[in-house]
C-alpha cells in the first residue's frame, strides 16, 4: 500500500495491515473510531499497545493538511486554504443554509482540465489528493463547528472544489465509502455528490464500483462548439459521448442526474442556447442547476443581464423543464464555483 495517510485505508486494508504486522485485526475498529468518530489528529492517547502506536506513527500520517488561511463571506460561506505536507494548495468551502451545511471538497491540488471560466483551471494540476486528504477537509469542518460551539454538522459533501473528481476516482471512491460507512461518517448516499466536467468513460466505473454518491455533470453549454470553447475536455469526449455515458448511468442506476449549467452572456444565455438545452434535458431524468457566471479578472467572459437571464428561464420553463437558479455563495471571498485558486486575497473578481 502506498498511502501516506491512515485515513486513505479501507477498513479491510487496515485489518490486513494490522494482522500482517502481528497485531490483532479487531484493533482496526478501535483505530477507526479514534479517527472518524472522535476525530483525533494525533496518535497520542490512542489506547493500543505502545509498539502498535509506534508502528502506526512510523507508517502513516494522521494529519495531512495545515491551515494557511480562513476567509468568511458576508453570506456565512467559509473558505479554507490548506497546504498538504508537500506544500500543495488545497481549498475547502463550507456553504451554510438554515438547515444544511454543505462542504465542497477538493479532490486534486489544481486541475488539468483548463475550463475557461475557472480560476483553478488556470493553475494547472499539482497532483491528485489521497482519500485521507479529501476526508480531512470534512473532518476539519466538523472540528470547526465543535470549536465554535456551533450547533451544526456537515450535512452534504460535494466533490466540486479544485480538481476533476473522476480523474482521481480511486481516492474519491474511497472517500465516498468512508463517508457512507455507518462506523465512520454515516452519511446517506443522497448527501454525497460527485460533479464531473465530463470524464465520460469513468461515469460507468462509478456504477461498477458501487460508489455511494449522486452524479452531477457540468454541462455548462448545450452545443459542441460553445462547450469546446469553454471546456477543453469536450474535444476528447464530445456531447454525444458524454450523453451516451449519462444515459447508460440513468438506465443502470435508476437515479437522477443533475446538470450544472452556467449562464454566460452571448454564449450560453441566448434563446438559441435555451433551445439546445431543452433538447438535451427534456428526454432525460434530470434536473438543471443553473448559475450566473462568476466572473474573474483573467477572463473575457461576461455575466448576462437580468433581462437575458429572465428570457432564458422563460423559454426553458415554457417547455416544463425543471431549472433552478442557484444563488452564488461566497463571491466576495472567491469561494463560488470556478473561483478557487489558492488565493488568500479577498479581492472581488467581478
Ligand atoms: S471547472 Fe472543475 S474541471 Fe474545470 S478547470 Fe475548474 S476545477 Fe477543473
Given the CA of residue 218, which atom of ligand 1 is nearest to it? 1
The set of cell numbers assigned to 50 is 505502545
Distance from C-alpha of 279 to C-alpha of 214, rounded to nearest angstrom: 23
Q: Look up 91 and say whether it is catalytic.
A: yes
Domain count within the chain: 2
Residue 54's SS3 state is helix
Give me the helices (H) in 36-194, please. Answer: 50-59, 119-123, 131-147, 169-180
Would you call 240 helix, strand, or coil by DSSP?
A: helix
In tens, the pLDDT along 220-245 reads 999 999 999 999 999 999 999 999 99
Percent of the chain with pLDDT over 90: 85
Per-residue pLDDT at 20 exceeds 50:
yes
> What are the φ/ψ torsions at residue 110 (nearest 5 degrees)?
80, -170
Shared domain check, 312 and 165:
yes
Q: Is there a domain that residue 82 lies in?
A: yes
23 vs 17: CA distance, rounded Å = 9
Residue 292 reports pLDDT greater than 80: yes
Whether 37 and 71 share a structural domain: no
Reply yes or no on whether the pLDDT at 279 is more than 80. yes
Q: Is the CB of 121 under 6 A from ligand 1?
A: yes
From the CA of 195, give the closest atom in ligand 1: 2
Q: In sequence order, what are the beta bridge partners of 217?
A: 196, 259
Cell 450535512 sits at which residue? Answer: 155
**Is the same domain home to 37 and 140?**
no
Do both 318 and 254 map to the same domain? Answer: yes
Chain mean pLDDT for the chain: 92
- Does ligand 1 have an atom closer than 6 angstroms to the CB of 163? yes
Q: Which of 92, 107, 110, 111 to mutate to test the pocket of ligand 1 (most atoms within 8 A of CB)?
A: 111
Are 45 and 82 found together in one domain?
no
Helix (H, G, I), strand (E, B), or coil: what is residue 239? helix
Domain annotation covers residue 168 = yes
> Are both 69 and 129 inside the same structural domain?
yes
| Cell numbers placing 10 | 479501507
Does 111 sit in the ligand 1 pocket, CB within 6 Å?
A: yes
Residue 346 lies in a domain: no
Domain, as residue range, for 160: 65-333
pTM of the predicted protein model: 0.94
**18: helix, strand or coil:** helix
**Sequence-ordered alpha helix ranges (H) in the chain:** 11-20, 27-32, 50-59, 119-123, 131-147, 169-180, 200-208, 224-230, 233-236, 239-253, 271-281, 306-318
Q: What is the pLDDT of residues 47-91, one digit of tens each?
A: 999 999 999 999 999 999 999 999 999 999 999 999 999 999 999
- Residues 133-170 have pLDDT tens digits of 999 999 999 999 999 877 899 999 999 999 999 999 99
CATH number of the domain to which 105 belongs: 3.20.20.70
Amino acid at each position: 500500500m502506498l498511502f501516506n495517510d491512515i485515513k486513505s485505508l479501507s477498513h479491510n486494508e487496515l485489518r490486513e495491515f494490522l494482522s500482517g504486522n502481528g497485531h490483532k485485526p479487531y484493533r482496526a475498529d478501535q483505530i477507526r473510531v479514534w479517527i472518524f468518530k472522535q476525530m483525533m489528529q494525533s496518535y497520542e492517547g490512542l489506547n493500543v499497545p505502545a509498539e502498535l502506536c509506534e508502528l502506526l506513527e512510523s507508517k502513516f500520517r494522521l494529519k495531512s493538511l495545515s491551515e494557511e488561511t480562513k476567509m468568511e463571506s458576508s453570506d456565512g460561506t467559509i473558505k479554507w486554504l490548506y497546504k498538504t505536507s508537500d506544500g500543495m494548495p488545497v481549498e475547502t468551502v463550507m456553504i451554510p443554509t438554515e438547515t444544511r451545511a454543505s462542504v465542497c471538497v477538493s479532490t486534486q491540488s489544481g486541475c488539468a482540465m483548463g475550463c475557461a471560466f475557472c480560476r483553478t483551471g488556470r493553475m494547472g494540476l499539482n497532483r491528485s489528493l489521497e482519500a485521507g486528504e479529501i476526508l480531512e477537509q470534512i473532518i476539519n469542518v466538523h472540528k470547526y463547528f465543535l470549536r465554535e460551539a456551533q450547533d451544526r454538522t456537515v450535512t452534504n459533501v460535494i466533490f466540486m472544489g479544485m480538481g476533476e473528481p473522476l480523474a482521481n476516482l480511486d481516492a474519491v471512491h474511497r472517500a465516498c465509502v468512508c463517508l457512507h460507512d455507518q462506523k465512520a461518517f454515516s452519511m446517506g448516499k443522497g448527501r454525497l455528490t460527485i460533479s464531473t466536467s465530463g470524464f465520460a468513460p469513468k461515469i460507468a466505473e462509478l456504477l461498477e464500483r458501487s460508489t455511494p454518491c449522486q452524479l452531477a455533470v457540468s454541462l455548462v453549454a448545450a452545443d459542441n462548439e460553445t462547450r469546446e470553447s469553454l471546456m477543453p475536455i469536450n474535444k476528447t469526449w464530445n456531447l454525444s459521448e458524454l450523453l451516451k455515458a449519462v444515459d447508460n448511468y440513468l438506465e443502470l442506476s435508476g437515479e437522477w442526474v443533475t446538470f450544472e449549467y452556467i449562464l454566460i452572456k452571448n454564449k450560453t444565455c441566448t434563446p438559441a442556447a435555451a433551445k439546445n438545452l431543452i433538447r438535451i434535458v427534456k428526454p432525460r431524468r434530470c434536473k438543471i442547476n443553473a448559475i450566473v457566471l462568476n466572473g474573474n479578472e483573467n477572463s473575457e467572459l461576461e455575466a448576462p443581464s437580468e433581462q437575458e437571464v429572465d428570457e432564458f428561464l422563460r423559454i426553458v420553463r415554457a417547455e416544463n423543464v425543471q431549472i433552478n437558479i442557484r444563488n452564488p455563495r461566497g463571491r466576495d471571498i472567491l469561494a463560488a464555483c470556478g473561483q478557487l485558486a489558492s488565493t488568500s486575497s479577498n479581492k472581488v473578481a467581478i
